Amino acid sequence: MSGFPVVRPRRLRENPVLREMVRETELSLKDLIYPLFVIAGKGIKNPVASMPGVYQVSVDNLVREAEEVVKLGIPAVLLFGIPEPGEKDEVGSPAYAPDGIVQKAVRALKKEFPHLLVITDVCLCEYTSHGHCGVVDNGIILNDPTLELLARTALSHVEAGADMVAPSDMMDGRVAAIRGKLDAHGFTYIPILSYAAKYASSFYGPFREAAGSAPQFGDRRSYQMDPANSREALREVAQDLEEGADIIMVKPALAYLDVIRLVKENFNCPVAAYNVSGEYAMIKAAAEKGWLAERPVVLEVLTAIKRAGADLIITYFAKDVARWL
């Protein structure tokens, strides 16, 4: 007994070269997906007040944004559409219009940047007058009548050239409905990234400002998951995989690291995590006030999401990370 500790974890922390060599988790640009908001019109670049650095852009400016994304080495984008306000209706028709805003955007992007992976968010809330993700009757969000509309939306995105579709509505059976529709039209190899464990979170506030998709009455708790549940997330994921989902998403990310880990440990599929708008806004606001140092905090948060088990991260910080790494 020398009186000295034999086991000293600090031995591996002293030398920065060795510290890096034994690092368990590495954040990579190749894992990041950058969300973009595309709006009808021309020459538009509207800043989103609660998300500094994020804009609603018209298709012409979207192409410029994408050019920057490609130059920075970010492999993929996730598209959200904002139709003209007058276009919205009870059944979200602009979501599945062949010449809808996302469909136009996809065509423009794939023409200019064939190697950029273009993923589209499939949902109705940006396109319905009531702002819910499904068809509404008497204040109830109807599940089954919504499925065909989601499937049609996904098909129209893929027909426009989308590389992958990402249903975010949380209706039961939507993955099967979309898979069936795509397969019937010969798109058997277009993967589905399912928002499988999507919680009824208060962290989506800034997004709803960006996408103009706040529900006009009530909330989304009858279809999105209760933040108190994690076993239920496993059921959702199991069901979506059975229906043909290829990649599973947990959303939000930061307050749900345990769910990311659970999904990772229970299923052999790639896991994506959505570092959502409210998570972005919190850091931006604190950094603006000088209360947090933005760069190390962002890198710490994204590394933690990866450490928890995410293979892919959807984040509004993607361009910043590309510049930092």
Question: For residue 158, with 0-12 CB atoms within 10 Å meaning exposed, 13-18 middle and 19 or more buried, which class applies?
Answer: buried
Site for ligand PBG (CB under 6 A): which residue of 276, 283, 298, 318?
276
Enter the DSSP assignment of 187: -
Q: Are the C-beta atoms of residues 120 and 203 closer than 8 Å to each other?
A: no
Task: Pick the piece of the chain touching ligand PBG (CB under 6 A) from 64-72, 201-209, 238-246, 284-292.
Answer: 201-209
Which residue has tokens 């204040």? 139
How many C-beta atoms lie closer than 10 Å to residue 269's C-beta?
18
Q: Say if CB 309 and CB 249 are below 8 A apart.
A: no
Catalytic residue among 251, 264, 284, 306: 251
Find the binding residues for ligand PBG in span 88-147 (CB under 6 A).
Answer: 121, 123, 125, 133
Tell which positions 149-178 bind ligand PBG, by CB under 6 A.
Answer: 168
Among the residue ranges 4-12, 54-62, 157-165, 204-212, the one whose residues contact ligand PBG (CB under 6 A): 204-212
Residue placing its CB nearer to ligand PBG in the complex, 6 or 228: 228
269 is in an annotated binding site: no
- Residue 81 corresponds to which amino acid? G
Q: How far is the CB of 277 from ligand PBG (least distance, A)?
A: 3
* CB closer to ligand PBG, 80 vs 306: 80
Query: Given the complex with ligand PBG, which of 102 and 123 has the nearer CB atom?
Result: 123
DSSP state of 85: G
Nearest to 104 by CA among 179, 152, 41: 41
Binding mask 205-234 for ligand PBG (x = CB under 6 A): --xx----x------x--------------
Answer yes or no: is 316 a known binding residue.
yes
The verdict on whether 30 is a catalytic residue reads no
Annotated binding residue at 133? yes
- 8 Å CB contact between 236 and 171: no
125 annotated to bind ligand: yes
Active site residue 289: no
For the chain, the farthest-separated pair of C-alpha atoms sits apart, in whole angstroms, at 80
Q: Which is nearer to ligand PBG, 114 or 220 (CB)?
A: 220
* Residue 108 or 119 having the CB closest to ligand PBG: 119
Joined together, the tokens standing for residue 210 give 């960006």
Q: Which string of DSSP letters, residue by residue, matches 268-310?
A: -S-EEEEE-HHHHHHHHHHHHTTSS-HHHHHHHHHHHHHHHT-
The single residue of 181, 198, 264, 284 carrying the catalytic annotation is 198
Residues flagged as binding site: 123, 125, 133, 208, 220, 236, 277, 316
Which residues are designated catalytic?
198, 251
